[in-house]
Structure 1
Amino acid sequence: MTSPARMRPAHPAEHGLAALADLFSLVTASDAQLDDARVTGVTVASNDVEPGDVFVAVPGLRVHGAAYAAQAVEAGAVAVITDTAGAATLAALSVPVLVSDDPRALAGPLAAVVHERPADRLTTVGITGTNGKTTTTYFVDAALRAVHPVTAVMGTVELRIGDEGIESPRTTVEAPVLQAILALALERGAGAVAMEVSSHALALGRVSGLELDVVAFTNLQRDHLDFHGDMDGYFRDKARLFAPGQGRRGVVVVDDEWGRRLVREAQIPVESLATHVGAPEGADADWAVVAADIGLDGVGSAFTLRTPDGALLEAHSPLPGLVNVSNAALAIVVAHRAGVPLDVAVEAVGHAGAIPGRMERVIERGDGLPLALVDYAHTPDALVLALEAVRPITPGRLVIVFGSDGDRDQGKRPIMGEIAARLADVIVVTDENPRSEEPAAIRSAILDGVRAVRPDLTDVHEATSRTQAIHDALALAHEPDTVIITGKGHEPTQEIAGVFHRYNDRDVLRSARAELTAPAERHA
């Protein structure tokens, strides 16, 4: 598999276009006959069309999708579904043109029908929230794999069925792609799917037509305000997952005010989980972490989980820090509600494998080298949690390499700088994904926050290249120190001035280590 759009069942179902038009009350806007058209797929991207597809042409920010209808037909589309404005431009098209009031909202339900509702024959779990979605999803998958021979994972890092996966283009793929992957997973013998559900996906209808068996909420922290406008708008979009027809039952972490609000306002049955040890609201939660022992080896942490009936379970998180106690506890509860026996879920989550770009240990401490980790933390709260997680396992200084994204929430940049200046010892400020912005301006905003805590910029460095920043950090560190590189995690590219360059923090860190150790190895 090389592209998400190509992740389709080898033996797709076939449906008559006329029957689909009747089912969804679509109006015919052309003279072409519907009876002869046979539909095997759905897409909203003209360059992903395969023969037998219906092309759903949605209005875009700059160009209406109908402008690409001819290209879609040339590639094999048997019909086009669009809105009234799009249909008005397609009078000469050789295939049927059907009109929907909201073609974007229709794409998911239509794809679900075309692929014969694969989710109905799978155990499905969806995780939303600002921080922890990826880690929790992988923990849940580890538990699901303990009872299902084949599982699928869909999220920020990858799209995987069984042992075969590809890089994911976004946290949650478009609705037709999602339904096709579910159908392929079913065809390949999968019994369960764990997926991340982003706020963008919920707002843009990427999970329309999909009802998940269990949905979960990690937390809500400042992020994506450029898209949602404010925290209330961000919350409302996240809460869409907890509505009839989208999720059947939910598990909500109530460590923040947003989680507690979601429990009050959710339209489906939900259970609450408190993971802040000693927090007063934990007494009222259905599930609660009542004790935790943060491992000083940096590998993981033990914790005690109280069940709704008062029983106490001894559990383990394979990743360091209280934040990953929260992720592990949530995964255990979610997996259990998805049909995994509780003791099996506890054991499987405790032994889950490494997660790309999430507290990923790339260099182990020893032979004169520091411990070096890569973590995706790219929001203020995630940065706090990441630095607090590694401080207890750092005998020496804590060295951080970080930046902030361009064309995104600018207000968080000085906040990130203040956090790093307060919680780390040595700081290397560099670029993340500048996108269309001037990288130096982003770094300057971060450094403004650093100066609020360290006016003299002691132990503060700036690097115009992320690769150089990682080399600098490793050169500055000694064996007792810990180097943590945050912001990009697993990401395989860096976007600069609209161009995507192949790049990965882990690979650069390994290369830097090789350069440091090469002379000693040659001498030996």
Structure 2
Amino acid sequence: MVLLKNLILRNDTLKDIFKECSSEKMDFLINGISSNSKEIKKGYIFVALKGQKLDGKDFITEAQKKGAVLTVAENLKKDNVISLKEGMSRKVYSLLLSCFHEKQPKQIIGVTGTNGKTSVVEFCRQIWGQASWKAASMGTLGTKIDTSNEKNNILKSNENLTTYEPSRLYEQLHFLARKEVSNLAIEASSHGIDQHRLDGIKFSGAVFTNLSHDHLDYHKNIKNYYSSKKRLFTHLLNPNSSIAINIDDSYGEKLHNELNKSNHLILTFGQKEEADIQIVSSNTNNKSIDLTLKFNNKIFQTTIGMIGQFQIYNVIASASICIALGMDPDFVFKSLGYLKPARGRMEIVSDNENKSLVIIDYAHTPQALLTALSSLKHFAKGKIITLFGCGGNRDIEKRTLMGQIAYQNSDLVIVTDDNPRDELPSKIREDILQGCPNAIEIGDRNNAIKFAVSKLQDNDLLLIAGKGHETTQTIGMESLPFDDYTVSKEAIKNIKKIGITS
């Protein structure tokens, strides 16, 4: 708990917003902050946010009855209400929470891009861990802590969000700081950036991985999508921060050009000769990739124990930001050989007796699916079977495009369900099938995976795409237990007993 006058002194924006509060209000003892009226207790500040379906203003009376001593809302002149300008409530909510949960790890980097965020934050945490630093990563896989006493401790999130909602986010930052975590890599989604969830974080670094078609149901067009990503670099970074940018990506090159006159230290990476960290060559082996890299006119060679050409960019992205932040390049490049892939990212389930491979990957965008399949072609000796679906209540435009990509890069395509949510599953599959009319349609994902495994012959490769690390399948309002890895593992064990009909 903290006095309101002491709380707002921690941030200049809050000092300005609350400057007309009476001395009586300034002496309010604040016990918590929430935008959910159901969570309000005595001494809380209630921030009325407008969502897609509900408006927080409709719950102010309920919040006050439950003990809210102060309410923050946009364009509302009432007693005990701090009235904000239009569009300010989410930013103020994050700032209030960051000041209430005051502690944060000393060094925090944000990783943004359409694909690769989860892997990059995971790799950064591992590199820092190899240096015996107390490190953590936060995002799609939850909060993972890697300290001397707590190796790979995972704090799972029930929100199923890449970037947590502010109430959980700042509480977790405070928790990590109390655990003496010094370095944190956090996934910065376009939604999280656009909705000001990250505005209270003291970022000292940021990474741009790539940008391609995704989330256009929310952003409406690619220009808005890019602008949301860019905001991490132009509005949220501390002065003189470190930045790593993939300049092989057209939007990465654009971002680099637009930031080139900033006061930040920027390291670029990619295959282009002008990249600060250049990928000189790569050679794909059975389950590893040999890399030759160039930095400061010096050649570095390493082997990463992963499959998938795109993992090269994820690995080099993490190396780039670590070096930009001051880590010794020799140490960083040597550490790459010890990195382990993130859960559900080009994850090999097991080898079958007939030397076929089953691989789980989170690829759920057109570019991610194309990149995954293109990578697998490098070492596929037999047929490539692709199994995937598309989520409901999400970007409709990508469905047919993903169908086309699967059709053009696979020998067999199986279209199934992937978190249909409130949409009719058959309609989602129908949209996908417009791009791959010869695909086999099996709605039940469990049966689809079993069927796909049963079709594997000598040296074939099965890519199960879309869900990766997820352990639930959302149908309607219900999230049911479901794990691609577990189902495929069981199917491999019982391959001789399978009898499935589509």
TM over 0.5: yes
Matched with 1:334 is: 321
- CA-CA distance at 1:395 after TM superposition: 2.0
Per-residue displacement from partner, 1:12-58 (whole Å, max 9, x unpaired)?
A: xx421134457533459999942553225433333445665433221
| Mapped contact 1:141–1:193 kept (Cα < 8 A) | yes
Aligned pairs for 1:233-272 (under 5 A) are: 233-247=224-238, 248-266=241-259, 267-272=262-267
Matched with 1:312 is: 299
Question: What is the identity, as a one-letter code, of the residue corresponding to 2:479?
Answer: F
Say whether residues 1:39 and 2:30 are aligned partners.
Answer: yes
Aligned pairs for 1:121-160 (under 5 A) are: 121-160=105-144
Per-residue displacement from partner, 1:71-102 (whole Å, max 9, x unpaired)?
A: 545666543322233x65xx5xxxx4333332
Matched with 1:62 is: 53
Question: What is the identity, as a one-letter code, of the residue corresponding to 1:261?
Answer: K
**Structure 1 residues 312 and 52 mapped into 2: Cα distance closer, same or farther (>3 Å)?**
farther
Distance 1:179 1:444 in 2: 42
Distance 2:64 2:363 in 1: 43
- CA-CA distance at 1:215 after TM superposition: 0.2
Matched with 1:7 is: none
Matched with 1:498 is: 477
Among 380, 391, 405, which residue is 1:405 paired with?
Answer: 391
Per-residue displacement from partner, 1:431-465 (whole Å, max 9, x unpaired)?
A: 112222221121112111113xxxxx2xx311011
| Mapped contact 2:46–2:60 kept (Cα < 8 A) | yes
Aligned pairs for 1:17-166 (under 5 A) are: 17-20=4-7, 23-26=14-17, 33-49=24-40, 53-69=44-60, 71-72=62-63, 77-85=68-76, 88=78, 96-101=80-85, 102-116=88-102, 118-119=103-104, 121-162=105-146, 163-166=152-155
Distance 1:345 1:41 in 2: 41
Distance 2:18 2:311 in 1: 51
Moved more, 210-219 or 147-156: 147-156
Among 358, 361, 379, which residue is 1:375 paired with?
Answer: 361
**Structure 1 residues 56 and 388 mapped into 2: Cα distance closer, same or farther (>3 Å)?**
same
Among 159, 170, 181, which residue is 1:179 paired with?
Answer: 170
Moved more, 137-146 or 54-63: 54-63
Distance 2:479 2:233 in 1: 35
| Mapped contact 2:205–2:237 kept (Cα < 8 A) | no
SS in 1 for 2:171: helix
| Mapped contact 1:148–1:192 kept (Cα < 8 A) | no
Q: How many residues align?
A: 481
Aligned pairs for 1:364-513 (under 5 A) are: 364-368=350-354, 370-451=356-437, 457=438, 460-513=439-492
Matched with 1:3 is: none
Unaligned regions of 5+ residues in structure 1, if any? 1-13, 277-281, 452-456, 520-524
Matched with 2:339 is: 352
- CA-CA distance at 1:348 after TM superposition: 2.7
| Mapped contact 2:290–2:302 kept (Cα < 8 A) | yes
SS in 1 for 2:387: strand
Moved more, 480-489 or 48-57: 48-57
| Mapped contact 2:415–2:429 kept (Cα < 8 A) | yes
**Structure 1 residues 40 and 302 mapped into 2: Cα distance closer, same or farther (>3 Å)?**
farther
SS in 2 for 1:25: helix
Distance 1:427 1:433 in 2: 19
Question: What is the identity, as a one-letter code, of the residue corresponding to 2:125?
Answer: D
Aligned-pair identity in percent equals 28
Distance 1:380 1:38 in 2: 51
Distance 1:242 1:318 in 2: 31
Moved more, 344-353 or 501-510: 344-353
SS in 2 for 1:471: helix
SS in 1 for 2:144: strand
Distance 1:211 1:234 in 2: 23
Q: What's the TM-score, normalizing by structure 2? A: 0.89
Per-residue displacement from partner, 1:175-210 (whole Å, max 9, x unpaired)?
A: 342222111101012111011100111111011122
Distance 2:377 2:41 in 1: 52
**Structure 1 residues 504 and 46 mapped into 2: Cα distance closer, same or farther (>3 Å)?**
farther
Distance 1:463 1:369 in 2: 25
Question: What is the identity, as a one-letter code, of the residue corresponding to 2:214?
Answer: D
Among 289, 305, 309, which residue is 1:301 paired with?
Answer: 289
Matched with 1:279 is: none
- CA-CA distance at 1:154 after TM superposition: 0.7
Distance 2:374 2:220 in 1: 29
| Mapped contact 1:306–1:313 kept (Cα < 8 A) | yes
Per-residue displacement from partner, 1:87-131 (whole Å, max 9, x unpaired)?
A: 65xx5xxxx433333221112222222233x34x51111110001
Question: What is the identity, as a one-letter code, of the residue corresponding to 2:440?
Answer: H
Unaligned regions of 5+ residues in structure 2, if any? 147-151
Say whether residues 1:189 and 2:180 are aligned partners.
Answer: yes
Question: What is the identity, as a one-letter code, of the residue corresponding to 1:514?
Answer: K
Matched with 1:273 is: 268
| Mapped contact 2:269–2:320 kept (Cα < 8 A) | no
Superposition RMSD in Å? 2.5
- CA-CA distance at 1:489 after TM superposition: 0.8
Distance 1:518 1:463 in 2: 19
Distance 2:227 2:82 in 1: 32
